């Protein structure tokens, strides 16, 4: 585990409840509204403080395109990306790295599709764009951070059939450690 994976986002990063704004119904997945991102479909909003809201929106979609799980709602990717806004507030170099990285990605998107990354409609096309930048520090920083900030969200574990903490429940000795019968 690189230091960046551990320190940048950290296990258990959460969106504060007060930072989820109530959002009305709307069509688009995630819309920028002032300094906030609004997800009408999932009824949440995210206040962005340091990065440009459009940058965070791009990072959230990029997170899904890097680690696509169709069973995960957008909010889990938003939770995974949110710590970067906090890190950017504390560290100008991080802020620059993220803003410049998204600008570069958008540059590739505009050159090929005449629109920014978030407006490229097909995942397959966006993945091609990510492959252009996958060896750079920006992509690797975002990707490696997600390993903890996405997959260590305990809320998503049941969606993958993982039961987490077990000792307090008495382990699995009476809860199916050897219940496999299909062999």
Partner 1 sequence: MAQFDRNDDSVVVIVGSGAGGGTLGTDLARRGINTVILEAGARYEIEDFVNDEWASFGQLAWTDARTTSGTWRVHRNFPNLPAWIVKAVGGTSIHWAGASLRLQEHEFRTRSVYGGLGGANLLDWPITLAEMEPWYAKAEDRMGTTRTNNIPGLPGNNNFKVLEAGARKIGYKEVNTGRMSINSEPRDGRGACQQIGFCFQGCKSGAKWSTLYAEIPKGEATGKLEVREQCQVLHIEHDARGLVTGVVYADKDGALQRQKARVVAVAGNSLESPRLLLNSASSMFPDGLANSSGQVGRNYMRHTTGSVYAIFDKPVHMYRGTTMAGVVRDEAVNDSSRGFVGGYELETLSLGFAFTAAFLDPGAWGRSFTSALDSYDHMAGLWIVGEDMPQETNRVTLDPVVRDRFGMPVASVHFDDHANDLAMRAHAYDRGRAIYEAVGAVRTFPTPPYPSTHNLGTNRMSEKPRDGVVNKWGQTHDIRNLFIADGSQFTTGGAENPTLTIVALATRQADTIAGMMARKEI
> Which positions lie near partner 1, rule CB under 8 A?
1-3, 5-6, 11, 66-69, 71, 127, 134, 143, 147-148, 150-152, 157, 160-168, 170-173, 175-180, 182-183
CB of 27 to partner 1, least distance (A): 26
CB of 102 to partner 1, least distance (A): 17
CB of 31 to partner 1, least distance (A): 26
> Could you write out the three-class secondary structure of the chain?
CCHHHHHCCCCCCCCCHHHCCCCCCCCCCCEEECCEEEECCCCEEEECCCCCHHHHHHHHHHHHHHCCCCCCCHHHHHHHHHHHHHHHHHCHHHHHHHHHHHHHHHHHHHHHHCCCHHHCCCHHHHHHHHHHHCCCHHHHHHHHHHHHHCCCCHHHHHHHCCCCCCHHHCCCCCCCCCCCCCC
> Could you tell me how far CA 136 lies from the centroid of its own chain?
18
**19 vs 65 by CB, closer to partner 1:** 65
**20 vs 157 by CB, closer to partner 1:** 157
CB of 74 to partner 1, least distance (A): 15
**34 vs 165 by CB, closer to partner 1:** 165
Angle between helices 53-66 and 74-90 (to 10 degrees): 130
CB of 98 to partner 1, least distance (A): 18
**16 vs 165 by CB, closer to partner 1:** 165
CB of 86 to partner 1, least distance (A): 18
**24 vs 135 by CB, closer to partner 1:** 135
Q: Is-contact 32 57, C-beta < 8 A?
A: yes
**104 vs 152 by CB, closer to partner 1:** 152
């Amino acid at each position: 585990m690189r230091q960046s994976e551990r320190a940048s986002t950290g296990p258990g990063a959460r969106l504060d409840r007060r930072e989820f704004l109530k959002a009305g119904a709307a069509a688009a997945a995630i819309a920028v509204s002032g300094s906030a991102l609004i997800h009408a479909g999932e009824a949440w909003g995210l206040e962005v403080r340091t990065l440009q809201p459009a940058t965070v929106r791009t990072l959230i979609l990029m997170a899904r395109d890097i680690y696509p799980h169709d069973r995960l709602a957008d909010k889990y990717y938003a939770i995974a990306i949110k710590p970067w806004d906090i890190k950017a507030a504390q560290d100008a170099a991080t802020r620059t790295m993220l803003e410049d990285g998204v600008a570069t990605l958008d540059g590739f998107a505009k050159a090929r599709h005449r629109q920014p990354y978030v407006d490229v409609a097909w995942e397959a096309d966006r993945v091609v764009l990510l492959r252009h930048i996958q060896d750079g520090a920006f992509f690797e920083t975002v990707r490696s951070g997600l390993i903890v900030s996405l997959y260590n969200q305990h809320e998503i574990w049941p969606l993958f059939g993982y039961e987490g903490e077990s000792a307090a429940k008495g382990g699995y000795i009476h809860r199916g450690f050897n219940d496999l019968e299909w062999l």
